[in-house]
Amino acid sequence: MMKNGDEDAPHQGNAPRPRAGDSGLRARQKVIGMGLKRLYDNVVEEPVPDDFADLLSRLDDTSGGGEVR
């Protein structure tokens, strides 16, 4: 699948800094972090279903002041 082409040579190509495995690790974690953000943002960017607007408009009727349980 679409991963780094050669898993035995993760530092090939133009990896940012040549400072041994550490910078490669950090670079990979950064990419993973971007992927995580992308997954999350994909949901954030989904259109919000109409039920939510309905729900918020109904909230007016309820009395406030309760406590989170």
Partner 1 sequence: MNAHEVASRPAPSPAEEKEFKDGLLEAIPYVRAFARTLCGSKAPADDLAQETLTKAWAARNSFQPGTNLKAWLFMIARNQFYSEKRRSWRSVAWDEDLAEARLVAPATQSFNVDLTDLRRALTKITPEQREALVLVGAGGLSYEEAAKVCGCAIGTVKSRVARARQALERMLNGADPDALPGRHEVPQSEDLIEEAQRITETGGGDPER
**Which residues contribute to the site for partner 1 (CB under 8 A)?**
1-4, 7, 10-15, 24-25, 27-29, 31-46, 48-49, 51-52, 55-56, 59, 62, 64-69
Backbone angles phi, psi at 15, to 5 degrees: -65, 140
CB closer to partner 1, 20 vs 46: 46
Cβ of residue 62: shortest distance to partner 1, in angstroms? 6
Q: How far is CA 46 from CA 14, 25, 49, 54, in A?
A: 35, 32, 9, 17
Cβ of residue 22: shortest distance to partner 1, in angstroms? 12
